[in-house]
Structure 1
Amino acid sequence: MTSVVLALYDGAMLYETAAACEVFGVDRELTDTWYDFRVCGPDTTGDRREGRLGSWLRIDTPHGYDALAEADTVIVSSWDDVDAEPPADLVAAVRAAHDRGARIVSLCTGAFVLAAAGVLDGRRATTHWAHTDALAARYPRVEVDPDVLYIEDGNVLTSAGKAAGMDLCLHLVDADHGAAVANELARRLLVPARRAGAQAQFVAAPTAVESGYAFSDLLDWASGRLDEPLTVPDLARRANMSTRNLTRRFTATTGTTPLRWLHTQRIHRAQELLETTDDTVELIATRTGMGTAATLRRHFHNALGVPPDVYRRTFRGHRGATPKAA
């Protein structure tokens, strides 16, 4: 069982804290094993540890920052005052956990804590788009990318703001338990399917008709037909648009192109089938609209860095968590 510790401190923000607690702290029996999850905070009075969320809510926890010493994964929540120096005891605990080899994760402006600990030196990282310039100016050894939802650089992961924190949490579940479990968790939480980390975190504001879930019907329709050789013109016809108009509006609304979205969904579906079925690669290629096993192998390797057969063996041999039927 993987241990996850969420580190809070005065000024931690509610949304990102709640997202991490919902994802890692609630066992929805999606696998045989879930996370050993703890929340820790700074010492205040005696054995009492307390974190302040926003300006209106305080939570107590029996765990102090010493809990980071044995965690497999350390998550630092966002905070509301990036102009201040992060708490020295938290910075020291994060640095020690990183030196020990723990996976270190920041949500939104929690990246400033990681940077202060030196964890981000020489690495790519991101944070909320409104604070990327400040992060880059204060910590010039960090390669700040303002145009992505989240970044995984080795065993250090950082996310942009708010909803991107949920994306990163689901990405971690995918890494630990597989795509099928992560997708089912997203369905249980009633949040959109996982977005790729490289997707833009800030795109031009769409018009009213394009906002929200303007393309939800189209995406649901396409998701149910990934075994068919769908093309962008097929999507355009379904949406009663020209191909050019669909591409422009789709990109403005979702931050990715229709073709890239289709490709990502096919890869995700292939991951699920490799994890949950004994289908051959040839059959999975057919069921995901890839056509041939050679095409699937090429695209799968380009996307994930390993061929489908290796992915299946790795998932079934080392994660030790069998997905349960929904």
Structure 2
Amino acid sequence: MLKNVAVVLLDNVQPFELGVVCEVFGIDRSDEGLPVYDFAVVSAAGPVLTTHAGFTLTTPFGLDRLEEADLIAVPAGGDFSSRTFPPELLDALRRAVDRGALVLSVCSGVFVLGAAGLLDGRRCTMHWRHAAELAVQYPKAIVEPDVLYVQDGRIITSAGTAAGIDACLHLVREEHGPQVANAIARRMVVPPHRDGGQAQYIERPLTPTNCDRVGEVLAWMARHLEEEMTVEELATRAHMSPRTFARRFQQETGTTPYRWLLRQRVLYAQELLEGSDQTVDAIAGRAGFGTAAGLRHHFLRTLGTTPNAYRRTFRVTEPAA
């Protein structure tokens, strides 16, 4: 049973992501008959730390406090994707998993887990903006960039900002049942349950690459989403063999050409549904799905909703008279 919770502080921590964990696990709600956790905020970098917002934090707890925690949470921080972390923290996280503790990351906190080797062979996620970078840095990780949170064994990873709330409430639900999770959600005035597999609604970014030839092909694919294309044709355009192209594409984007193309088509369809009056049939053609049925099929598989339902929720222009 989950009783002891510790949150790791590193310099440049994001206050919101830290606050998410504190809100779910650090507040005494015993007046409502809810669990009370032995909760501590633990410093991994000295007695005084500066947050990403510029103010400072202090805590009396050091890394030794992690040795007794049932759950260790690692919130996001600035530059986590490009910095190193204290070896003693990474050792403590590995020991925690070895003894059966849970380890949770919020957004870019996942890079700390990756540095500790805890993502190898495991499914994980994070904010869509940095998912490809995570896949490149930790190629043994199985990165799922389109979901809110993932639990693989004792490791839980979540996407940006509010998805951390979802992941924390998921843990409460797993450990204490839906009634407890729902009661905490009511206190926080948030939805009691968003399934981890629910898609992140995102814009249509073009993945940066280190390979000019792959980057040029990505740009061409993004401009010709309505056209049919094969790996062989794309490899020819990149002046590579199909096998080499597929390997380099995976290295640069963290996914396959087919999955990247499918995701870009869905994202483009999202843009058109949000900002145009075109019919679903016309959008399906422009986005490369051919028919409204094809678009509906992939929308349901990728986003868990239909094109019409998405348009009703996210439309930013009024329909034409």
* 2:82 match: secondary structure: coil
Give CA-to-partner distance per residue, 1:49-100, whole Å, 9 cap, x none.
2332214121111101111111111111111101112333322221221222
Question: Which AA in structure 2 matches 1:68?
Answer: L
Give CA-to-partner distance per residue, 1:296-322, whole Å, 9 cap, x none.
xxxxxxxxxxxxxxxxxxxxxxxxxxx
Out of 36, 39, 42, the residue aligned to residue 37 of structure 1 is 39
Structure 2: 5+ residue runs without aligned partners? 203-269, 276-304, 315-321
1:117 Cα deviation from its structure 2 partner:
0.3
Give CA-to-partner distance per residue, 1:22-56, whole Å, 9 cap, x none.
11000222435321111100353xxxx23322141
The correspondence of residues 144-293 of structure 1 with structure 2, limited to 5 A, is 144-203=143-202, 204=270, 207=274, 247-251=306-310
Distance 2:193 2:55 in 1: 29
Q: Could you tell me whether the CA contact under 8 Å between 1:42 and 1:50 is conserved in 2?
A: no
Question: Which AA in structure 2 matches 1:190?
Answer: V
* 2:39 match: secondary structure: strand
**2:122 is the counterpart of 1:123:** yes
Question: Which AA in structure 2 matches 1:38?
Answer: A
Q: Could you tell me whether the CA contact under 8 Å between 2:9 and 2:42 is conserved in 1?
A: yes
1:252–1:157 CA distance, 2 compared to 1 (3 A): farther
**2:83 is the counterpart of 1:24:** no
* 2:6 match: secondary structure: strand
- 2:56 aligned residue: 58
Q: Could you tell me whether the CA contact under 8 Å between 1:9 and 1:50 is conserved in 2?
A: no
- 1:7 aligned residue: 8
Distance 1:202 1:51 in 2: 33
1:151 Cα deviation from its structure 2 partner:
0.1
Give CA-to-partner distance per residue, 1:227-281, whole Å, 9 cap, x none.
xxxxxxxxxxxxxxxxxxx9424345779xxxxxxxxxxxxxxxxxxxxxxxxxx
1:251–1:118 CA distance, 2 compared to 1 (3 A): same
1:57–1:32 CA distance, 2 compared to 1 (3 A): same
Q: Which moved more, 1:197-206 or 1:90-99?
A: 197-206
Q: Which has the higher contact order (CA 8 A, sep 6+)?
A: 1
Distance 1:53 1:110 in 2: 14
1:159 Cα deviation from its structure 2 partner:
0.2
- 2:75 aligned residue: 77
TM-score scaled by length of structure 2: 0.62
Question: Which AA in structure 1 matches 2:131?
Answer: T
Q: Could you tell me whether the CA contact under 8 Å between 1:106 and 1:158 is conserved in 2?
A: yes
* 1:152 match: secondary structure: strand
Q: Could you tell me whether the CA contact under 8 Å between 1:86 and 1:112 is conserved in 2?
A: no
* 2:50 match: secondary structure: strand
Q: Could you tell me whether the CA contact under 8 Å between 1:129 and 1:202 is conserved in 2?
A: no
Distance 2:132 2:312 in 1: 25
Distance 2:48 2:7 in 1: 13
Question: Which AA in structure 1 matches 2:91?
Answer: A
Percent sequence identity over matched residues?
44
Q: Could you tell me whether the CA contact under 8 Å between 1:16 and 1:162 is conserved in 2?
A: yes
- 1:289 aligned residue: none
Distance 2:186 2:312 in 1: 21
* 1:151 match: secondary structure: strand
- Structure 1 residue runs of 4+, over 6 Å off? none
Question: Which AA in structure 2 matches 1:124?
Answer: R
Question: Which AA in structure 2 matches 1:110?
Answer: G
Distance 1:114 1:254 in 2: 35
Question: Which AA in structure 1 matches 2:27?
Answer: V
1:202 Cα deviation from its structure 2 partner:
2.6
Q: Which moved more, 1:75-84 or 1:24-33?
A: 24-33
Question: Which AA in structure 1 matches 2:307?
Answer: R
- 1:294 aligned residue: none
Distance 1:187 1:254 in 2: 23
Query: How many residues are paired up?
Result: 215
1:43–1:146 CA distance, 2 compared to 1 (3 A): closer
Distance 1:163 1:71 in 2: 24
Q: Which moved more, 1:160-169 or 1:25-34?
A: 25-34
- 2:248 aligned residue: none
1:166 Cα deviation from its structure 2 partner:
0.7
1:107–1:32 CA distance, 2 compared to 1 (3 A): closer
TM-score scaled by length of structure 1: 0.62
Q: Which moved more, 1:60-69 or 1:246-255?
A: 246-255
